[in-house]
Amino acid sequence: MNTKEKILITARDLIYENGYAGTSVNDILVAANIGKGQFYHYFESKHDIALKIIELNISEWEQKLFKPILMSDNNPDKIFCDMIDWFSKAQESGKPIFHGCHIGNLIVEFSAKEEYFRTLLRDLLLTLADLIAKNLMRLNNNRFDTYGVAFNEAKFIIAVIQGNTLLLKATQDINVFKDNLNLLKNKYLK
């Protein structure tokens, strides 16, 4: 990992755990064990690194969720299960304290304040909804017979997953999180 990547990953972890407002450039310098000059060599400001963090998270969703799972040629039941499992594993791989979803946390913190950030994050969720909708139309013998109905249902699924992530943050109980994801699977995979 090069210095720029190290700074970016360190900043992402700090912002994930403490929020953007709760993370200073100095916090990043200390945690990454770098000087101010190194930080400003790669990033113009804290705002700039936040943008790079959003772009990194979007890229990871594209590379780890969209392409290999939601855009795969697998059968729709497997795609749906793999998607739910991906969200579950993302939380299970966390530290002993569950801080939520990287994307969800960024949405909460930036959407009302930073229009460009909000647009990037909104577009990511709309892409996710589109991919889920296309899969839903193949599930359950075409129970969702129009794209519009499937797209609305996909937005509901995203809301359930993100709401469940908030519940995980509040309860710090991974079993509650997993149980709710299993309920979601059972609702769609009959």
Q: Where are the domains of the chain?
A: 1-43, 47-188
pLDDT value, residue 141: 65
pLDDT value, residue 183: 96
CA–CA gap between residue 18 and residue 90 (Å, rounded) = 18
Fold designation for 1-43: Arc Repressor Mutant, subunit A (1.10.10)
Fold designation for 47-188: Tetracycline Repressor; domain 2 (1.10.357)
CA–CA gap between residue 27 and residue 10 (Å, rounded) = 10
pLDDT value, residue 95: 67
Same topology, domains 1-43 and 47-188? Answer is no
pLDDT value, residue 94: 65
Q: Which amino acid is at 49?
A: I
pLDDT value, residue 1: 81
Check: CB of residue 106 under 8 Å from CB of residue 53.
yes
pLDDT values of the chain reduced to their tens digit, one per residue, 190 residues: 899 999 999 999 999 999 999 999 999 999 999 999 999 999 999 999 999 999 999 999 999 999 999 999 999 999 999 999 999 999 987 668 889 999 999 999 998 999 999 999 999 999 999 999 999 999 866 688 899 999 999 999 999 999 999 999 999 999 999 999 999 999 998 7
pLDDT value, residue 97: 84
Check: CB of residue 129 under 8 Å from CB of residue 162.
no
CA–CA gap between residue 58 and residue 68 (Å, rounded) = 14
